[in-house]
């Protein structure tokens, strides 16, 4: 899908197509639809990032709370969004043994207790070992440091999801 096609999407189609580039936050996509036309996909991504950055800290934390626990109950029960299921699978989180799942559950709980939102990391850029290491290491951050770090991870996830949507639609036309 090229930028011209993206710019021509109706509101409903735009939100349906791009509504989960930020996990379970279609309101972000809905808000940036009105800023069309975009000169490039990078400009669309920048608009999403600008929207996120303009939110108050409580709004940023709200975005973070929309994310599932990594290797958590949603993965185990099959209730993840298709994007999250694919990303966690690529990182190997769906192939953890019982002791690894137990450790992740404990660390996820400790993290949420400390910061008030789930641990967010771009799973596609990591594997289960590096995810556990980052989770353990990031527990040492201050609340403000961790909120900022987690929002940067949201932006990485968004970038890869946007890229995947655009590239997969281009491949489907070939």
Averaged in consecutive runs of 10 residues, what is the pLDDT profile of the chain (174 residues)? 96 98 98 97 98 98 98 94 97 96 97 98 98 98 98 98 86 53
The token duo for 88 is 């966690």
Burial class (CB in 10 A: 0-12, 13-18, 19+), 92: middle
Give the model's pLDDT for residue 114.
98
Give the model's pLDDT for residue 85.
97
Give the model's pLDDT for residue 173.
55
Give the model's pLDDT for residue 169.
63
Give the model's pLDDT for residue 174.
42
60 and 151 in contact (C-beta within 8 Å)? yes
54 shares its domain with 100: no
Please, what sign has the CA dihedral across residues 28, 35, 53, 154?
positive
Helix H, strand E, coil C: the string for 42-60 is HHHHHHHHHHHHHCCHHHH
The three-class DSSP label of residue 168 is helix
Active-site residue list = 67
Q: Give how many domains the chain has, as a whole number.
A: 2
Report the C-alpha gap between 61 and 118 in whole angstroms.
Answer: 9
14 shares its domain with 38: yes
Domain around 33: 3-62+160-173
Give the model's pLDDT for residue 171.
59
The token duo for 60 is 């940023």
57 shares its domain with 13: yes
How far does CA 16 lie from the centroid of its chain? 16
149 shares its domain with 169: no
103 shares its domain with 48: no
- CATH code of the domain containing 95: 1.10.3330.10
78 shares its domain with 144: yes
């Amino acid at each position: 899908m090229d930028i011209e096609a993206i710019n021509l999407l109706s509101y409903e189609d735009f939100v349906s197509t791009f509504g989960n580039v930020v996990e379970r936050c279609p309101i972000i996509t809905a808000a940036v639809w009105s800023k069309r036309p975009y000169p490039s996909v990078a400009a669309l991504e920048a608009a999403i990032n600008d929207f996120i950055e303009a939110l108050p800290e409580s709004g940023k934390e709200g975005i973070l709370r929309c994310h599932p626990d990594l290797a958590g109950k949603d993965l185990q029960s099959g209730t993840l969004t298709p994007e999250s299921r694919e990303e966690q699978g690529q990182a190997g989180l769906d192939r953890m043994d019982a002791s690894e799942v137990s450790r992740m559950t404990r660390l996820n709980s400790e993290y949420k207790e400390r910061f008030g939102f789930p641990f967010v990391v771009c799973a596609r850029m990591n594997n289960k070992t590096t995810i556990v290491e980052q989770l353990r290491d990031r527990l040492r951050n201050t609340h403000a440091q961790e909120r900022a770090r987690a929002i940067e991870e949201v932006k990485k996830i968004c970038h890869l999801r946007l890229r995947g949507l655009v590239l997969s639609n281009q491949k489907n036309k070939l």
